[in-house]
Amino acid sequence: QQQVKQSPQSLIVQKGGISIINCAYENTAFDYFPWYQQFPGKGPALLIAIRPDVSEKKEGRFTISFNKSAKQFSLHIMDSQPGDSATYFCAASMQSAGNKLTFGGGTRVLVKP
């Protein structure tokens, strides 16, 4: 059972544009929603995270929007740069399950110069 669904699978955006990745979850017990960034040959790295009591969190050019009632959250990359080209994963976890992360399927983002 896929508990976190991510879309799109791939995304091409021009430099300076906005990249938007969406995720939907099923388990209302999830209480932590991080995004990870992965470059080829590297492990995923934590990019930004949000808790369900907050509707939006911004760190630099990266923003998470969270809609608890719809059980959806999204990552916006503003002013996308070629260096942002990577695979992005959304994830969800719950403290009661030992912070075990369930990952979405990933989105491969390509930023064209």
Partner 1 sequence: DAGVIQSPRHEVTEMGQEVTLRCKPISGHDYLFWYRQTMMRGLELLIYFNNNVPIDDSGMPEDRFSAKMPNASFSTLKIQPSEPRDSAVYFCASSSTSTTYGYTFGSGTRLTVV
Rule CB under 8 A: which residues touch partner 1? 32, 34, 36, 41-46, 49, 89, 93, 95, 97-106
Nearer to partner 1, 100 or 112 (CB): 100
Whose CA is closest to 21, among 63, 81, 67, 82?
A: 63
Q: How far is the CB of 98 from partner 1 (least distance, A)?
A: 6
Q: How far is the CB of 95 from partner 1 (least distance, A)?
A: 8
Q: How far is the CB of 20 from partner 1 (least distance, A)?
A: 20
Alpha helix segments (H runs only) across 18-77: none
Place of tokens 């990552």: 75
Q: How far is the CB of 66 from partner 1 (least distance, A)?
A: 15
Reading the block at residue 80, the tokens are 């996308």
Reading the block at residue 112, the tokens are 């064209």
Reduced to 3 states, what is the DSSP secondary structure of residue 20? strand
Cα distance from N-terminal residue to C-terminal residue, the chain: 38
Nearer to partner 1, 80 or 103 (CB): 103
Nearer to partner 1, 96 or 113 (CB): 96
